[in-house]
Structure 1
Amino acid sequence: MHCEHCSSEHPASLPCDQQVTCSGSELASPVPRPVFAGRPPVVDLRGHTLGHYRLTRLLGSGGMGTVYLAEQTLIGARVAVKVLHPHLARDARLRARFYAEARTVNLIGHPNIVRIFDINESEDGLHYFVMEYLEGQPLSRLPRPMEPGLLAWLLAQACDALEAVHRSGVVHRDLKPDNLLMVERPGERPALKVLDFGVAKALRDTGQEQTMAGQVFGTPAYMAPEQWSGQPVDGRSDLYALGVTGYLLLTGQLPYPRGQLAELVLSPEPLPPLRPPHTLVPTVPEALSQTLLRALARNPAERFTTALDFKRALLAAVRSAPASRPPPPRAVQRPRGLVNTPIPAAPPRPEPNDPTPLPTWTARVRRGGGADSVVVHCSELSRGGLFMCCAEPFPPLFTRLEFTLQLGGEEVECVAEVVRHVDSAQAHTWHMYPGVGLQFINPSARLRDMLMRVRPARRPSATPHSILAQEALAHL
């Protein structure tokens, strides 16, 4: 069938990355078939004023609404405004769900959950609510594999939020890296905020939705087995989704292949054992690996009973919490007399509204032939080379760099030559980080084999970042 979410042809049983809703009629077959209702058309409201809020920038769009950065016209405060998609506003049940999100968040009132200040309807019939605007990065945009201590610290805060959510009789039902935001402030350890309660469910709800047997809400890659099969869910389903998130961030890959997810999860046969994260990435403590595997148990009874139990296991599995805001990245000593080149701490921005962006890779670049090295982020990996993120001054064209590339938990030595510069002006214009395009020099058989196994299928894209990054590698 044609999936309007991802604009591709695939069987309905094969999940794409969009949030889906299933009705009970799709569950008559052994494998339920999510109904892809189609990506809603985004009505661009930038420049409009809703109440006292002028919408200035589009932040993102989801299944229920579009989120804008806005300015409070009286005092100039910045806030985020979520607007219900106009074509959904005609459905009374969907309007009720939209308002229920705001009520749910305010009912819980936890510091690790985004705050909502106001909810209203404009004169022209637009339904919206106003949230705190947070300067941060969703976990989907952070480099992978993530440092284990940072991951445990962030997931522990998510558990704090979930403990409050579940004690309030609510299940989030759509936890994923896009809905978990890391916020950094000077002198403080990274903080995490849980976002988007648009499909949250009250466990004691006796309304119409509960009577619709087999109804499924969520994002396929993160849905627990009982969620896939349309069975009743509780807080342990959220813990499963958090386990998937942790596995992805630690290893750079999802626990199960995307195309086989529904069949594997719902098969009556025993599931093939998951590869523990520490066998994929040697820096992961085995205790943290086992903690995530328990959260990913197929049977809810075998998972952690509460989010608080999950949090305790996460923190016990690592030696210490991450330090307050990491120090500025160290400079890379460049050949041919160019030294002290700063390296950005974050990877390039992913494509907008992509719920599971293509992964980034890390490279350990040796300084001037010495034993000292610095870790940098890379993207646009191909058989010919890669794009390395770094700030000016760049090493001159045709400079040779020696580095250790980390791929899928393995390391391989590489030598590459600088073939293209993307300076700060270009990067600013195209909304990406500056850096250099590198071409591999005499890649080893092991490197070629690893690239064939790890490199994802490239997706066509018209976004400026992808165009420029590909242009930067035009020589490869």
Structure 2
Amino acid sequence: MYCENCSSEHPASLSCDEQDTWTGAESSDSVPRTIPALFDLRGRTLGHYRLTHLLGSGGMGTVYLAEQTIIGARVAVKVLHPNLAQDARLRARFYAEARTVNLIGHPNIVRIFDINESEDGLHYFVMEYLDGTPLSRLPRPTEPGLVAWLLAQACDALEAVHRSGVVHRDLKPDNLLMVQRPGERPTLKVLDFGVAKALHDTGNQEQTMAGQVFGTPAYMAPEQWAGQPVDGRADVYSLGVTGYLLVTGQLPYPRGQLAELVLSPEPPPPLRAPHELAPAVPEALSRALLRALARSSSERFANALEFKKALLAAVQPAPRPQASHATALAQTPRARAATPIPAIPTPPDPNDPTPPPTWTARVRRSQDSGSVVVHCSELSRGGLFMCCAEPFPQIFTRLEFTLLIGGEEVECVGEVVRHVDSAQARAWRMSPGVGLQFVNPSPRLRELLMRLHPSHRQSAASQQAGVKEALALI
């Protein structure tokens, strides 16, 4: 079918928002795409995972909701279409997606735990199951503050992606998932790295073809349309198209004119500013989106963090947890300088089918050297465990950090009481890092921790014992 929206041909069952690629788990109540009966694997067991429901299907593979047969944990399993598995190049692309995601290891990127091949030649990998809403299913126009908050998180993920030397190349509403948990602000997860490309690719013909174009037409940057080399600014463009669509309810370019407007040697007419189409959009947000959509990559934001700063500066306030994802927002995140990404992010354990809950902390290094973001686990009223690379801070070192918990940023001080080096971490199947004991926790921190562990109300004496036990474990 010829699509007037993107000036290209694709199956009638797919809109230009959806075509070409699909990875990641949608909400369980979403309507899955139709796939040929030959490829419907519901009821099959792959390794330790029994496929139960179809979540989505695209050009490379099909995603199923699955149960881990031993403990019953829910995961998402992506299976390479059997008719594509005979092509070595496509198999390489499929496996490269899993390797790319695990290399980056960012909290705003879907986690992949396992990758394998069944006895009868089915290639698959196992991801965290995300019960959320793709941005393609949000009501349009979407509340501008919510859009800015979600896109800012996408920018955080993209900054990590680009620093790892990778370009996503297929950002669109279907590949951006909003996850909501009670008492927390909406969280965004970036999905589907099936057409991601290394910035310094050597041109291996097994995975790339000269002049070949990957992506979804409606969201591709002009240089990507033309088959030219791309960098992180192409992803910024795609995110700008997504933001424009969400806040206005329409794509930036008129139907049927996308390709000719983008590829014409003549400059296209100026885009209509989003605030002209939707009066609720702040003018500052309009300017940020239009800059992200600049035809020349040199006129866009230089990187994703610059785009994030412009997004958050453009809206007041930021989202409070709500029952409905379409409702208004309440509190703006504090404006901060660009947060450094750890040079060696801790990858998730590939053998862990049920990832433990994690939190994020921003640790201040010193007065002049900024801060670093780390993942945390084993959070209790006594302390927590910070995943980090060696060399570790010395025992009894005090660290000042900002902990994101329950949708709030809480200032904390912790004292290092335990080291878990790489050898111990491998033996215990966990990440290396340090255990910290909270020092003089604030009333607000104690209140949030009490909410996190409501069943642990105990006397002062038993609470002290519980703290010692928790710290012994970490």
With the shorter chain as reference, the TM-score category is 0.5 to 0.7
Q: How many angstroms apart in 1 are the aligned matches of 2:189 and 2:148?
A: 15
For residues 349-394 of structure 1, the C-alpha deviation after alignment (integer angstroms, 9 at most, x for no partner) is xxxxxxxxxxxxxxxxxxxxxxxxxxxxxxxxxxxxxxxxxxxxxx
1:221-260 equivalences under 5 Å are 221-260=218-257
Instruction: State the TM-score, normalizing by the size of structure 2.
Output: 0.62
Distance in 2 (CA, whole Å) between partners of 1:120 and 1:17 is: 27
Q: Is the 8 A contact 1:114 1:131 kept in 2?
A: yes
CA distance in 2, matches of 1:328, 1:131: 24
Letter in 2 for 1:18: Q
Contact kept? 2:139, 2:326, Cα under 8 Å: no
Give secondary structure in 1 for the equivalent of 2:108: coil
Give, in whole Å, the separation in 2 of the partners of 1:310 and 1:59. 32
Matched residues in 1 for 2:245 and 2:114: separation? 35
In structure 2, how many angstroms separate the alpha carbons of the residues matched to 1:88 and 1:223? 24
Change over 3 Å in CA distance of 1:267–1:79 after alignment to 2 = same
Pair 1:210–1:94, CA change in 2 (3 A): closer
Return the offset for 1:41: 4.2
Give distance in 2, aligned partners of 1:211 and 1:147: 39
The structure 2 residue matched to 1:316, chosen from 309, 313, 317, is 313
Structure 1 segment 57-68 matched on structure 2, within 5 A:
57-68=53-64
> What letter matches 1:297 in structure 2?
A
Aligned to 2:44: 48
1:256-279 C-alpha deviation (Å, 9 max, x unpaired): 123111001000111111000000
Are 1:107 and 2:103 matched, yes or no? yes
SS in 2 for 1:217: coil
Q: Distance in 2 between matches of 1:329 and 1:283?
A: 14
Change (3 A) 1:211 1:254: closer
In the alignment, the residues of structure 1 paired with residue 91 and residue 248 of structure 2 have an alpha-carbon distance, to the nearest angstrom, of: 39
Paired residue secondary structure (2:288): helix
**Structure 1 Cα separation of the partners of residues 268 and 325 of structure 2:** 44
Deviation at 1:208, TM superposition (A): 1.7
Aligned residue in 2 for 1:280: 277
Using the alignment, how far apart are the partners of 1:329 and 1:301 within structure 2?
A: 34
Q: Verify: 1:183 aligned to 2:168, yes or no.
A: no
1:212 is displaced (CA, Å) by: 3.2
Verify the 8 A CA contact 1:17 1:221 in the aligned structure 2.
Answer: no
2:197 is equivalent to residue 201 of structure 1:
yes
Q: What's the secondary structure of 2:55's corresponding residue?
A: strand
- The equivalent residue for 1:349 is none
Pairs within 5 Å for 1:61-460: 61-206=57-202, 207-208=204-205, 212-326=209-323
In 1, Cα distance between equivalents of 2:252 and 2:324: 32
Which stretches of structure 1, 4 residues or more, deviate above 3 A after TM superposition? 1-4, 14-17, 39-42, 209-212, 326-330
Gaps of at least 5 residues in structure 1 are 9-13, 21-38, 331-476
Name which of 2, 10, 26 aligns with 1:5: 10
Count, aligned residues: 307
* Distance change (3 Å), C-alpha of 1:233 and 1:183: same
Say if 2:88 and 2:206, in contact at 8 Å, map to a contact too. no
Question: Alpha-carbon deviation of 1:5?
Answer: 2.8
Q: Is this contact kept in 2: 1:221–1:258, CA < 8 A?
A: no
Query: Offset of 1:77 from its aligned partner?
Result: 0.1
Q: CA deviation at 1:210?
A: 7.6
Looking at structure 2, the residues matched to 216 and 224 of structure 1 have their Cα atoms a distance apart, in angstroms, of 11
Amino acid across the alignment from 1:65: G
Q: Which amino acid aligns with 1:225?
A: P
State the distance in 2 between where 1:329 and 1:204 align: 40
Percent same amino acid at aligned positions?
Answer: 82
What RMSD in Å do the two structures reach over aligned CA positions?
2.2
Corresponding residue number in structure 1 for 2:20: 19
Aligned to 1:247, the other structure's residue is in SS state: helix
- Aligned AA (2:300): R
Unaligned runs of 5+ in 2: 3-7, 22-33, 328-474
Point out the more displaced range, 78-87 or 250-259.
250-259
Measure, in 1, the Cα distance between the counterparts of 2:244 and 2:69. 43
Q: Which amino acid aligns with 2:246?
A: L
Q: Is the 8 A contact 2:170 2:196 kept in 1?
A: yes
* 8 Å CA contact 2:90, 2:207 repeated in 1: no
CA contact (8 A) 1:120 1:128 kept: yes
